[in-house]
Amino acid sequence: MFTAPLFTGTLFALAAGLMWGLVFVGPLLLPEYPATLQSFGRYLAFGLIALPLGWLDRATLRQLTRADWREALRLALVGNVVYYLFLASAIQRAGGPLPTMIIGTLPVVIAITANLRGHRHGTRREQPLRWSRLAPSLGLIALGIGLVNQVEIDRLRAEPGADLGRYLIGAALAVGAVACWTWYPIRNAEWLRAHPDRSPRGWATAQGLATLPLALIGYALTWAWFAASGSAFAMPFGPRAADFVALMFAIGLLASWLGTLCWNEASQRLPPTLAGQLIVFETLSALAYAFVLRGQAPQAQTLAGVALLVAGVAWAVRSRPEPESAEAHPN
> What digits encode the pLDDT tens for the residues 261-288?
898 888 888 877 677 778 778 888 888 8
pTM for this prediction: 0.77
Domain span holding position 234 = 4-316
Whether 328 maps to a domain, the answer reads no
Q: What digits encode the pLDDT tens for the residues 19-76?
A: 989 888 888 888 899 989 999 999 999 899 889 989 998 988 999 999 999 999 999 9
Is 41 within a domain? yes
In angstroms, the CA 298 to CA 288 distance is 9
pLDDT tier, 172 (very low <50, low <70, confident <90, very high otherwise)? very high
Q: Is residue 82 included in any domain, yes or no?
A: yes
% of the chain residues with pLDDT over 70: 89
φ and ψ at 270, to 5 degrees? -120, 145
Burial (CB count within 10 angstroms: exposed 0-12, middle 13-18, buried 19+), residue 78:
middle
What whole-number distance in Å separates Cα of residue 249 and Cα of residue 229? 28
Whether residue 257 contacts residue 45, with contact meaning beta carbons closer than 8 Å, is answered with no
Residue 65 lies in a domain: yes
Sign, Cα dihedral of 198, 201, 207, 208: negative
Question: Is residue 115 situated within a structural domain?
Answer: yes
Strand partners, 126: 323
Dihedrals φ, ψ of 323, to 5°? -70, 145
322 within domain boundaries:
no
Total domains in the fold of the chain: 1
Domain membership of residue 325 (yes or no) is no
Q: What are 54's strand-pairing partners? A: none
